[in-house]
Amino acid sequence: MASLDRVKVLVLGDSGVGKSSLVHLLCQNQVLGNPSWTVGCSVDVRVHDYKEGTPEEKTYYIELWDVGGSVGCASSLKSTRAVFYNSVNGIVLVHDLTNKKSSQNLYRWSLEALNKDSSPTGVIVSNGDYDREQFADSSVPLLLIGTKFDQIPENKKNDVLTRTAFLSEDFNAEELNLVVQGYPGRTPASFCSDNVPQL
């Protein structure tokens, strides 16, 4: 068997947004029945054949690093998580579409992971101190995933989709929204997007 190329992808976001459920679904191809809180970091692996069946086919060993979602400002939390942020090939930013604060906190998560969080201690919002050019020179691709799309009331869906479109633009990232479909409040089970990025 040929050697596999290793790809390290961080999965970041607040506690309870569905990171562990998403990683489990992607790696085990099954729904996580009873997710628990992630302490520190959990790593799951998926072997992926890129461009399978073509001359450009290549097999990748994808490590999904599910980083515990405590957002606290304490420098001890940031320095503890910093060990997970080395040699990253991609970042998946996960937020709960029914929780605006989890979306706003993605700015902090991204700045921390990309090692650019030198001074901000509060939540940075797109119409405040955040400068989208901070990510323009980053070579690390970002993917934005919103969970619990089906739990948004119909009369608020347009507002939420507008907000996530701005997030996607700020991060220069592809956007994907997930629906729970029968797994109350916990587990993303299917994709809800016309714009599924190539991973």
**Which pTM was predicted?**
0.79
Q: Is the pLDDT of residue 118 over 90?
A: no
pLDDT of residue 183: 46
Q: For the ranges 71-75, 79-83, 132-136, 189-193, which has the lowest average pLDDT?
A: 189-193
Kindly state the tokens that stand for 50.
């890129």
Kindly state the tokens that stand for 26.
């992607």
**Residue 111 banded pLDDT, cuts 50, 70, 90:** confident
Alpha-helix runs per DSSP H in the chain: 19-28, 75-82, 100-113, 157-171
pLDDT of residue 70: 73
Q: Is the pLDDT of residue 159 over 60?
A: yes
Average pLDDT, the chain: 77
pLDDT of residue 134: 66
Q: Which CATH number fits domain 5-191: 3.40.50.300, 3.30.300.130, 3.40.50.2020, 3.30.460.10?
A: 3.40.50.300
Q: Is the pLDDT of residue 148 over 80?
A: yes
Mean pLDDT computed over 145-157: 92
Kindly state the tokens that stand for 146.
């919103």
| Environment class of 161 (CB within 10 Å of its CB; exposed 0-12, middle 13-18, buried 19+) | middle
**Residue 99 banded pLDDT, cuts 50, 70, 90:** very high
Locate the domains of the chain by residue range.
5-191
Kindly state the tokens that stand for 169.
């633009």
Residue 140's SS3 state is coil
Total residue count of the chain as it appears in this document: 199
pLDDT tens per residue across span 17-59: 889 888 888 888 877 777 777 777 788 899 888 888 888 888 8
Residue 182's SS3 state is coil
- Give the number of other CB atoms < 10 A from CB of residue 70: 14
Alpha-helix runs per DSSP H in 63-174: 75-82, 100-113, 157-171
pLDDT of residue 114: 85
Q: Which residues lie below 8 Å from residue 177, measured CB to CB, with a gap of 6+?
A: 97, 145, 146, 147, 149, 161, 164, 191, 192, 193
pLDDT of residue 100: 92
Which is higher by pLDDT, 19 or 120?
A: 19
